Amino acid sequence: MTTTYDLIVIGGGAVGENVADRAVQGGLSTVIVEAELVGGECSYWACMPSKALLRGGGVLDVAQRTPGVREMLSGSIDVPQVLKRRNSVTSNWKDDGQLKWLDSAHIDLVRGHAVFTGPKALRVTAADGTVTELTANHAIAVSTGSLPLIPDTPGLAEAEPWASREATSAQEVPSSLAIIGGGVVAAEMATAYTSLGASVTLIARGKLLANQEPFAGEKVADALTKAGADVRLGTSVERVETADSGEGHTLLLSDGTAITAEKILVATGRVPRSGDLGLEAIGLPTGGWLKTDDSLRVLDADGAPIDWLYAAGDITGRALLTHQGKYQARIAGDAIAARALGRPVDTSPWGVHSATADHAAVPQVTFTSPEVASVGLTAAEAEKRGIRTRVVDYEIGWVAGATIHSEGYEGTARAVVDEDRHVLVGVTFVGTDVGELLHAATIAVTAEVPLERLWHAVPSYPTLSEVWLRLLETYGRPTA
């Protein structure tokens, strides 16, 4: 039997849920197909458990720098309590709460793995082998996320390394952990596992957090080293050898040295989760990112949008972040409903049906100690785009709010100014608790607030936000 809905969403992660929610609110009957847990990677194996693992170390760092509180501290972090809290944050890897929400949002669910059988048609196979055929009146949206990239380094597969799922859901902390990669997962997991007592070695073939302003990775690498981690930058893993017992691994590095570790974590980026979707049945290459236009319609081989096929979230490769995927989801769900019901569609830049921010103002917080919070372009990216820029830096530790925040507060703020338009095109903060400063920057960059007007946005004294005033003063006060 074939069941028909106005919209079928493949993948019930944070992104798929939001596509479905907007479409239902727009008046469409909608079903989600989910192969694993409703809530997806972010809830169970990514954002939430990783932040729960990091939180204790972050609080301890501030407490140790707060006279009057540090005197109360004794012993080290209670690892079982941290893991218990992480287990509770993930609802012990059960999705009952999400099912209740789906019900309240009037979204149907079919559990199983979806494969395209033709345009607007899918076959779903459940874990028990039950097959459901689904067709869509209007659209199918793909939100199947991404999977870890595992390099083909000799001996690595045999070492049965952790990827992000194992690192975020581990029920024990290994005595030693070798982390391969220098991106966000590597930096955050190095911070978390060092705070939990593991002896961590981070091996990155390039710089740490290379997509950020250069001072970000430098400060995080320094802090990791101070916390006891061994940070090896510009170094590759050439081969891995595993003891005959299967316990303990030796990593042979490009600089001729070797390190040993109980566990290895591979954090070398992501690949699209599209290899098993049957995309060939609808004339698309298998295994790639699903490229989209700004209203999230998937593009065919000629770069033309397919009118019934949408994609949002990691699978698009646009910005592999939950909040940005959910932004795309709101736009996709609204665009699908509007087009289905013949309502006006606005795909002009910054229009309601255009994910323009993906190109100009993607915010990201890396929850290391210190945190890295950034939005928009780095100075190097702005220059590459041909923008005439001026870079303004200020030490966050010099503002009164930092003196109150904690002893020896160190941090840097950078604003990248478009000199022709007199607006900010990028802002980066590095320092403790700077994640909460970021949204002001996101608003300034997205709304293209003129610098002259920003002088009228007065930060409260004595907060860390006073760094905004100092950045403006460093840039120079406008004349009448």
Ligand X SMILES: NC(=O)c1ccc[n+]([C@@H]2O[C@H](COP(=O)([O-])OP(=O)(O)OC[C@H]3O[C@@H](n4cnc5c(N)ncnc54)[C@H](O)[C@@H]3O)[C@@H](O)[C@H]2O)c1
Under the rule (CB under 6 A), what is the footprint of ligand FAD?
10-16, 33-36, 40-42, 46-47, 50-51, 113-114, 143-145, 164, 168, 185, 273, 277, 313-314, 320-323, 325
Q: Which stretch binds ligand X (CB under 6 A): 36-44, 56-64, 362-370, 449-457?
A: 362-370
- Decide which of ligand X, ligand FAD, none touches 10; Cβ closer than 5 to 8 Å per partner kind: ligand FAD
Tell me the angle at which helices 96-104 and 14-25 cross, rounded to the nearest 10 degrees: 20
Provide the minimum distance between the beta carbon of 65 and ligand FAD in the complex, in angstroms, as a whole number. 24
CB-wise, 332 or 379, nearer to ligand FAD?
Answer: 332
Q: Is 314 annotated as a binding residue?
A: yes
User: Rounded to whole angstroms, how far apart are CA atoms 146 and 315?
Assistant: 6
Q: Is 95 left (phi over 0), alpha (psi -120 to 50) or beta?
A: alpha
Q: What is the DSSP string of 185-248?
A: HHHHHHHHHHHTT-EEEEE-SS-TTTTS-HHHHHHHHHHHHHTT-EEE-S--EEEEEE-TTS--
- The C-alpha torsion from 325 through 326 and 330 to 332, rounded to 10°, is 30
Q: Which range, of 132-140, 179-187, 194-202, 470-478, touches ligand X by CB under 6 A?
A: 179-187
Count of residues touching ligand X (by CB under 6 A)? 23
The answer to the question of whether 145 is labelled as a binding residue is: yes
Show Cβ contacts of residue 183 under 8 Å, excluding neighbours closer than 6 positions: 209, 210, 211, 267, 268, 269
CA pair distance 383, 456, nearest whole angstrom: 28
* Residue (208 or 340) nearer to ligand X, CB: 208
For the bound state, the minimum distance from the C-beta of residue 185 to ligand FAD, rounded and expressed in Å, comes to 5
Residues 21-40 close enough to bind ligand X by CB under 6 A: none
> Is residue 412 close enough to count as binding ligand X by CB under 6 A?
no
Query: Is there binding between residue 185 and ligand X (CB under 6 A)?
Result: yes
Residue nearest to ligand X (CB): 183
Candidates 6, 61, 188, 433; binder of ligand X (CB under 6 A) is 188
The C-alpha angle with vertex 475 and arms to 470 and 480, in degrees rounded to 5, equals: 110
- Which 3 state secondary structure label does DSSP give 153? coil
Tell whether 197 is in a known binding site: no
**Which of these segments, 98-106, 217-225, 245-253, 361-369, binds ligand X (CB under 6 A)?**
361-369
Q: Which is nearer to ligand X, 50 or 176 (CB)?
A: 50
Closest CA to 164 of 193, 144, 143: 193
> Alpha carbon of 81 to those of 251, 267, 401: distances in Å?
32, 26, 32
**Which residues define the annotated binding site?**
51, 144-146, 181-188, 269, 314
List contacts with ligand X (CB under 6 A): 151, 180-186, 188, 204-206, 210, 267-270, 320-321, 364-367
**Which residues define the annotated binding site for NAD(+)?**
181-188, 269
